[in-house]
Amino acid sequence: MPDLMAVLLATLVAGTPLVYAALGELVTERAGVLNLGVEGMMVVGAVIGFIVMLNTNSLMLAMGAAAASGAVLGFGFSVLAVSLMANQIAVGLALTIFATSLGSYLGRPYVGMALVLEPSAIMQLAGEIPLLGLVLGGLHPLVWLSWVLFGGVWFFLYRTRAGLILRAIGEAPESAHAIGYPVIRIRYLATMFGAAMAGIAGAFVSVIYTSLWTEGLIAGRGWIAVALVVFATWRPGRCVAGAYLFGGVTIAQLFAQGAWAAVPSELMSALPYLATIVVLVLISRDAARMRLSVPASLGKPFST
């Protein structure tokens, strides 16, 4: 029987990239922009973060560079899909294909290389906190920051005027524009924020979770993040729950591979994706609630 605390910590770490990516995509879609380029942005963020970490040994620079690379891709997406009003689905798919190829090209010299991370002094201090130290001391500070991000996104969307404006733009951009709100600028900012979070999510996978670079490292996590937002009915809490569900099944299948050696490993590796989608479909099977939850202008172009 594996140690339950170790399984819990591993689940939280495995789900963290999806927390970053899904919350970023949620903010983007709440503004009425459907960005299907999350997978590609995670790939580029992963390779940029890995390269910067390998050459500077600075986690802050690595995460900053990954976020910046994602934001640049998000800006390019916004130019095409928001300003030029190209089909958002087509732009997102094209961006994923382009960014995945770019990530493979940039990462080719680094395939097989691994990072050696030094123990975090903050983790050691956190481990000495009574009661909470057992959990906090075993988790990287970027996992803690994902919880802060969740709280920040929830507070922004539901407790601030700026969040109310963003949601209004996602529902009725023409009305928001008529009373003076800059719809295009806000959609740019929301898209670049979501893209930056996707870049950090990718860097978390390559720098913290695996500490190495190889082809196919992201392995569809960007698509799972997009699906999480939809099946979570655009609610931050459900996004986080879905992310940790994926992390839990990922860890469970690793133990199952050892117990059921006769089952092909490729089939076992697909279980987290299948289980996450099945569970999310079951909890969001209320079609009426789904229709009421989706931002009314999602995926629709806006012109002044």
**What are the residue ranges spanned by the domains of the chain?**
1-292
CATH class, domain 1-292, is: mainly alpha
Query: Rounded distance, CA 6 to CA 2, Å?
Result: 8
Residue 280 structure tokens:
């999310």
List the structure tokens of 39: 């997978």
Q: Tell me the backbone φ, ψ of residue 299, rounded to 5 degrees.
A: 80, 0
Q: Which residues lie closer than 8 Å to 191 by C-beta, 6 or more apart?
A: 28, 31, 33, 35, 74, 75, 77, 78, 81, 82
Q: Is 31 exposed, middle or buried (0-12, 13-18, 19+ CB in 10 A)?
A: buried
| Confidence check: pLDDT of 1 > 70 | no
- The string of pLDDT tens digits covering residues 23-34 is 999 999 999 999
Q: Which two tokens stand for residue 200?
A: 């950090």
The C-alpha torsion from 140 through 17 and 150 to 31, rounded to 10°, is: 150
CA dist 229 and 237 (Å) reads 10
- Mean pLDDT to the nearest integer, 100-125: 89
The tokens describing 285, both together, are: 């099977």
pLDDT confidence of residue 120: 76
Q: If pLDDT is split at 50, 70 and 90, which confidence band does 260 have?
A: low
pLDDT at position 3 = 76
Which among 256, 210, 235, 243 has a CA at the least distance from the CA of 12? Answer: 243
Q: Are 120 and 144 in contact (CB under 8 A)?
A: no
The per-residue pLDDT for range 62-79, each reduced to its tens digit, is 999 999 999 999 999 999
Distance CA(16)–CA(209), nearest Å, equals 9
